[in-house]
A and B are shown apart, each in its own frame.
Chain A
Amino acid sequence: MTGQFGDLRELYQEVIFDHNRRPRNFGPLDAATHQADGHNPLCGDQLTVYARVTDGVVDEVSFIGHGCAISTASASLMTEAVKGMPVDEVEGLFRDMHAMLTESHPDRDLGKLEVLSGVREFPARVKCATLAWHTLHNAITQARETAKTE
């Protein structure tokens, strides 16, 4: 099964297709306390990330928008990972994800998010995977401007 696709399977794992076809936490969040827009001008990917922060914890998070399989799956996986997480831990995860996607693997195991690590071998696609994370980071740190991966 993986044979005919070679290195592509490193990038496009089944979990990514699953989240691309059925993105989790997809839709606006009426009760959001934080939100930000993200845009990748290179390929036109566009998304909005919503978060509700209660007592320092991200207890609700969702996103809307359109993009490639990598950016949609990354956003979907992100919402699953950070729901219920204290804001400072989300920031720590943002840094570790950024490291995993762009430089070298962080010390700790990132669980299901590891499926995105193949992106590092496809430099042109790194920005697709980081877009949602930059946007969430902007949302919870209250940055007003649109997040860009350019």
Chain B
Amino acid sequence: MSAAAPHRETNAAVAGHAADFPILGRQIHGRRLVYLDNGATTQKPEAVIQAEARYYRESNANIHRGVHWLSQHSTDLYDRSRERVRGFLNARHAAEIVFTRGTTEAINLVAASWGRNQLKAGDEILLSGMEHHSNIVPWQLVAEQTGAVIRVVPVTDDGELDMRAFEGLLNERTRFVGVCHVSNALGTVNPVADIVRMAHAVGAVVLIDGAQAVAHQAVDVQALGCDFYAFSGHKLYGPTGIGALYGRKELLDAMPPWQGGGDMIHTVSFERSTYAETPQKFEAGTPNIAGTIALDAAIAYVQGVGLDYIARHEGELVRYATEILAQIPGLRFIGQARERAGIVSFVVEGIHPHDLGTILDMEGVAIRAGHHCAMPLMTRFGLPGTARASFALYNTKEDVDALAAGLRKARRLFGMEHEA
């Protein structure tokens, strides 16, 4: 009884939240949708869907343009979202929040604007060995153009960053450190506050890729002390095509624009243009207004549920999944970091992750199978890919049970397990 009680209590709490997400009511291949691909993108609550629809029904007008009421109204909603993101990350100023298409564009902004102008031949860019391609390729482009050199912090067998190696790699040529807060492939939570402190000691600028972190734990950029922090709305229960870059104001003010156009200028003549202040300087053209306003609703939703609750709940699911999946013969976890958030990555001996993905899909269970856009990390573990279950606030222990049942079915189909 004592073991069963908290189980019921947790599920009762989540059943309430799952009801906020219309898509979770649908069936896939005749089965209840068990959505465990939240690391790729989360589902959207009704509040977010409504916010986007309401904007188009009631508030649509271009921002920073007209003197008419609707334009001012949509500008106010847009600015309110920036203030929401500021509070969410605990940035000092709303001007330190630049809206982007997502994490990828945010990192490209820093690479193009800061990187190309600040880095020179021989400078070192230090990246972790567990970065997503979006925090590797933009720096390779910058390295090609500037002659800067990319160095890589190795990953241990447990899927943690080798902090001793990191310390050894830092030197007076290290100008930039790029690291994910949470690994999208392994779920490892990196000690980013320590990384920032150590990198700053040699004068390096630090960017944290927060794409996999912000939906799972509270983030305070002032406490972390980082120079840049990037995240995507769609992994935070918000729409696709909207994300944000936090940058320390002194850095953003000193950086040149990276895209030119309307909204980012002060005055334009054919002889010379002057640019708007931070953050408008980095937001050329009509932005994703509806997405920005729906992001405000997404963050409000997450704050309403509470990140402390979400972190606790998902931590419980990871622990439960680790316990249940460990009982499946031939299953091996990839990444056993002491600090993990929201993700369980694994392989099953004799069954390729892609086959697992198809078999689970027929059970209504959606997972990610593949290299997770982290090919160097897969190479590090000698794997073509893994199967990844990633959790959100609406997942339940029943979802984990469905995953485990699907994996046993895959083993039976492949002739490895014979019990019913």
Contacts from A to B (Cβ < 8 Å): 4-8, 11-12, 17, 42-46, 66-70, 122, 124-125, 128
Interface contact B358-A67, CB-CB below 8 Å: no
Q: For window 365-391 of chain B, which residues contact chain A by CB distance below 8 Å? A: 369-371, 375, 378, 384-385
The answer to whether residues A43 and B353 also contact, given A8-B413, A12-B413, A66-B384 and a CB cut-off of 8 A, is yes
Measured CA separation A103–B351 after assembly (Å)? 28
Contact of A17 (CB < 8 Å), options: B369, B409, B414: B414
A122 CB → nearest B CB, Å: 6
Q: B116 at the A/B interface (Cβ < 8 Å)?
A: no
Interface contact B371-A70, CB-CB below 8 Å: no
A-B contact count (CB 8 A): 55
Measured CA separation A118–B108 after assembly (Å)? 42
Q: How large is the interface on B (under 10, 10 to 19, 20 to 34, 35 or more residues)?
A: 20 to 34
10 contacting pairs across A/B (C-beta < 8 A): A4-B412, A7-B362, A8-B413, A17-B414, A42-B370, A43-B354, A44-B371, A66-B384, A70-B354, A70-B355
Residues of B within 8 A of A6 (CB): 362
Q: B304 at the A/B interface (Cβ < 8 Å)?
A: no
Residues of A within 8 A of B384 (CB): 43-46, 66-67
Measured CA separation A4–B375 after assembly (Å)? 36
Residues of B within 8 A of A69 (CB): 351-352, 355, 414
Measured CA separation A17–B416 after assembly (Å)? 11
The answer to whether residues A128 and B354 also contact, given A45-B384, A66-B384 and a CB cut-off of 8 A, is yes
Residues of B within 8 A of A67 (CB): 352, 354, 384
A42 CB → nearest B CB, Å: 6
Measured CA separation A97–B414 after assembly (Å)? 25
Which 9 A/B pairs are nearest by Cβ-Cβ distance?
Answer: A44-B384, A68-B352, A68-B354, A43-B354, A44-B385, A68-B355, A69-B355, A43-B370, A44-B371
Measured CA separation A42–B225 after assembly (Å)? 37
Interface contact A44-B370, CB-CB below 8 Å: yes
A14 CB → nearest B CB, Å: 9
B418 CB → nearest A CB, Å: 11
13 additional A-B pairs beyond A12-B414, A43-B354, beta carbons within 8 Å, are A6-B362, A8-B359, A11-B358, A12-B413, A43-B370, A44-B378, A45-B384, A66-B384, A67-B384, A69-B351, A70-B355, A122-B358, A124-B357
Residues of A within 8 A of B16 (CB): none
Contact of B362 (CB < 8 Å), options: A8, A44, A128: A8
Residues of A within 8 A of B357 (CB): 124
Residues of A within 8 A of B352 (CB): 43, 67-69
Q: For window 227-276 of chain B, which residues contact chain A by CB distance below 8 Å? A: none
B162 CB → nearest A CB, Å: 25
Question: What is the chain B residue whose CB lies nearest that of A70?
Answer: B355
B261 CB → nearest A CB, Å: 32
Measured CA separation A124–B361 after assembly (Å)? 11
Residues of B within 8 A of A12 (CB): 355, 413-414
Measured CA separation A125–B414 after assembly (Å)? 17
Measured CA separation A65–B89 after assembly (Å)? 46
Contact of B415 (CB < 8 Å), options: A7, A17, A46, A124: A17
Residues of A within 8 A of B359 (CB): 8
Residues of B within 8 A of A43 (CB): 352-354, 369-371, 384-385
Residues of B within 8 A of A125 (CB): 354, 358
Measured CA separation A45–B355 after assembly (Å)? 12
